[in-house]
């Protein structure tokens, strides 16, 4: 059996009972180590908790070495551990498809992820639209395909969850070109950097999918004991120090329910200003009133 097991958001104990029972009977255990990290548990702690060695699976191994991961999974139990929920990244879906094509039985054991735990900031999950990812910009690579998705969400009034980039076991272009297996220190995008990039692309696009005054929610270390939330405009959050990673951001949509707003006010030092910012944003994105089409004149037919 090939097990795809979600670990939850932060602690080694966040794994489900069923997931832990599966891990303990597996021959090999891989930990996916590039889309996210467990904030409160290191590899060595997991190994002690499971009573078994854990193999770190970087992007190259998962995307190019699936045969190695799935080796003998048709005869023995193997586990692939994913921070959050197993289907939080498309590469995990690809791994399941490869296993099924090879005739390997697959069992998926789900867990909490940022996609549902984001509701702890007070915003209702069914008011969210498409989720987008914000990657680190470089001098010659500043992708902005996510902008159109935010615009689509905003036009129909929905909130947008923005997932912030992490870089684990990444090579510099020079080391990659020279074939040197030297890796850069891990990097985690901050709320402030994400907001700076949002503002840069809005200035370049100029179509106002959002503005510097658009309200947003900064989320830090979701699921950990020291998780924090902060609300403000995108411009204000571009100056915000969100502390240690991991971070994510929510851009508010026009349909911000009064109960959502009441909850969000816990995370601001200036409630009156934030209420005004939300009201102004809702007014700006309010759809035009519906006008019935003019009736055709039978005499003109």
Say if strands 106-109 and 2-6 run parallel, antiparallel, or are unpaired. Answer: parallel
C-alpha span between 6 and 16 (Å, rounded) = 8
- Binding-site residue numbers for S-adenosyl-L-methionine are 9, 85, 88, 113-114, 164, 222, 247
Cβ atoms of residues 53 and 81 within 8 Å: no
- Binding-site residue numbers are 9, 85, 88, 113-114, 164, 222, 247
List, in sequence order, every residue forming a beta bridge with 232; answer none if it has no partner.
216
C-alpha span between 84 and 99 (Å, rounded) = 21
The SS3 of residue 146 is: helix
Closest CA to 247 of 185, 168, 186, 165: 165
Interaxial angle between packed helices 17-24 and 43-50, expressed in degrees from 0 to 180 and rounded to the nearest 10: 80
In which element (H, E) is residue 6 found?
A: strand 2-6
Cβ atoms of residues 286 and 254 within 8 Å: yes
C-alpha span between 295 and 133 (Å, rounded) = 46
For residue 3 the two structure tokens come to 């097990």
Closest CA to 247 of 192, 197, 198: 192
Residues 6 or more apart in contact with residue 54 via CB below 8 angstroms = 29, 30, 31, 43, 46, 47, 81
The SS3 of residue 56 is: strand
């Amino acid at each position: 059996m090939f097990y795809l097991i979600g670990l939850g958001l932060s602690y080694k104990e966040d794994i489900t009972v069923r997931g832990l029972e599966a891990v303990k009977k597996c021959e090999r255990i891989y930990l996916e180590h590039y889309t996210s990290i467990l904030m409160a548990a290191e590899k060595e702690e997991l190994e002690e908790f499971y009573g078994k060695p854990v193999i770190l699976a970087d992007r190259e191994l998962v995307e190019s070495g699936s045969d190695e991961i799935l080796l003998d999974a048709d005869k023995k139990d193997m586990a692939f551990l994913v921070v959050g929920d197993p289907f939080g990244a498309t590469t995990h879906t690809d791994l399941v498809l490869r296993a099924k094509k090879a005739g390997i039985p697959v069992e998926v054991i789900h867990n909490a992820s940022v996609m549902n735990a984001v509701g702890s900031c007070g915003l209702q999950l069914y008011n969210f639209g498409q989720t987008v990812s914000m990657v680190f910009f470089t001098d010659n690579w500043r992708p902005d395909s996510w902008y159109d998705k935010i615009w689509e969400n905003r036009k129909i009034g929905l909130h947008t969850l923005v997932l912030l980039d992490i870089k684990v076991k990444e090579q510099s272009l020079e080391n990659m070109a020279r074939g040197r297996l030297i890796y850069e220190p891990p990097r985690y995008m901050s709320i402030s950097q994400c907001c700076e990039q949002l503002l840069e692309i809005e200035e370049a696009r100029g179509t106002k999918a959002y503005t510097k005054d658009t309200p947003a929610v900064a989320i830090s270390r979701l699921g950990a004991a020291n998780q924090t939330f902060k609300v403000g405009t995108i411009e204000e959050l571009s100056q915000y120090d969100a502390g240690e990673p991991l971070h994510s951001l929510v851009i508010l949509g026009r349909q911000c329910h009064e109960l959502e707003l009441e909850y969000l006010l816990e995370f601001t030092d200036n409630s009156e200003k934030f209420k005004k910012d939300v009201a102004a944003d809702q007014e700006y994105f309010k759809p035009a009133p519906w006008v019935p089409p003019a009736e055709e004149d039978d005499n003109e037919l």
